[in-house]
Structure 1
Amino acid sequence: MAPPGSRRWAYVRIMAGTIHGGGLGFYVMHRIETSYKAKMEERLRRYEAHLLAKEKEAQLLQDEGLCEDQAQLLPDS
């Protein structure tokens, strides 16, 4: 059987390892989560900019189409 001081030291090491391991795990998961959120926010900004550019292009094409239609409807005098 192990001496009582040795057993106490083993319990202290187990508890300290559990606490430090939990803290390290929390820190790592926090870093992963924040980097993931930053990447997703950047992707969302790029996607919204892409949609806005597409919308402007569609509006421009529609405006050009209307101008061409009006030019065809007006008689030449």
Structure 2
Amino acid sequence: MVPPGARRWAYVRIMAGTILGGGLGFYVMHRIETSYKAKMEERLRRYEAHLLAKEKEAQELQDEGRREDQAQLLPDS
């Protein structure tokens, strides 16, 4: 037969372990989530910068094409 104090101590250990384990799990998941968000924000900034550079390059090519078209339309004097 198990003494009454041992059973109570077992319940206390189970509850304390559950609470501490939950707190530790929450902390770890919070750190992972904030790290992931920071990485994704940086990745988004780089992607937006890349898109802006491509857009600027396309605009420059389009402007260059217009200048060539105008140069062909103007008579040589």
Shorter-chain-normalised TM-score: which range?
A: over 0.9
For residues 20 and 14 of structure 2, the distance between their equivalents in structure 1, rounded to whole angstroms, comes to 10
Partner of 1:6: 6
* Structure 1 gaps, min length 5: none
> Which ranges of 4 or more aligned residues in structure 1 deviate by more than 6 Å?
none
Q: Render the CA deviation track for 1:21-62: whole Å, top value 9, x for unaligned.
A: 000111111111111111111110000000000000000010
1:6 deviates by 0.9
* Structure 2 gaps, min length 5: none
For residues 70 and 34 of structure 2, the distance between their equivalents in structure 1, rounded to whole angstroms, comes to 54
TM-score between the two structures when normalised by the length of structure 2: 0.97
**RMSD, aligned CA:** 0.6
How many residue pairs match? The answer is: 77
TM-score between the two structures when normalised by the length of structure 1: 0.97
Partner of 1:61: 61
